[in-house]
Amino acid sequence: MVRIVIVVFGAAAFVGCTGESGESQADQRDSPAVVDVVARVGGHSIGASEVESRMVAEEVGAEDALEHLIDEALLTQEAERFGFAKDRDGERSIERLMVRTMLRDLERDNTPESISEEEVGEAYALHAKNFQVPERRRSWHILIEEQT
C-alpha cells in the first residue's frame, strides 16, 4: 500500500513539476467524471472500477493493476507532451512504448531461475509436436545413356 501511495505522489509530483498536466482545461471537462477516484496522474483520474477491470483482465493484484494504469497514464501524457499522439503513427508509438514497458516488467518477474525444471518439462510435453521436425530426404538420380 505504501508503494502505491509513493507511486501516486511521485507521478503527481512529476507531472506537477513540468507545469503541464497533459490535458487542456477543455479535455478535462470533456473526459467522463470518475466517481471512485483512487489516483490522479496529471489531469487524468483513475477509478477503482478501472483498477478492478484491469485486475480481472490481467489476472493481477490491485497494486499491480494500479501501477500499470499509472504507467500507461504517464506514458500517454509524456507522448502527448512530445507530440506523438497527434496522428495514427503517434498512437502506434505510444502502443509500442506500452508494450516495451509490459515486456520489461514480464522479463523482470520471470527470470530463468524463477522457472522450475518441472514447469519446463510440462511445457515441453504440452508442445512436443511443435519441436518435432518431419524427416526429409533428398535423392539425386543421374541417368547416363550408354553409347555403342
- Residue 35 belongs to a domain: yes
- Residue 61 belongs to a domain: yes
Set of cell numbers at residue 75: 506514458
- Residue 101 belongs to a domain: yes
- Residue 80 belongs to a domain: yes
What total of structural domains would you count in the chain? 1
> What's the domain range around 43?
2-18+30-112
Please tell me the distance from the alpha carbon of residue 5 to that of residue 46, in angstroms, as a whole number.
Answer: 13
Q: At what angle do helices 62-81 and 88-109 cross, to 10 degrees?
A: 140
User: Between the CA atoms of 12, 17, 22 and 25, what dihedral angle is there, to the nearest 10 degrees?
Assistant: 90
φ, ψ at 47 (rounded to 5°):
-100, 160
pTM: 0.41
Question: Which pLDDT score, from 0 to 100, does residue 86 have?
Answer: 62
- Residue 93 belongs to a domain: yes
Q: Lowest mean pLDDT of 17-31, 77-91, 97-111, name the range.
A: 17-31
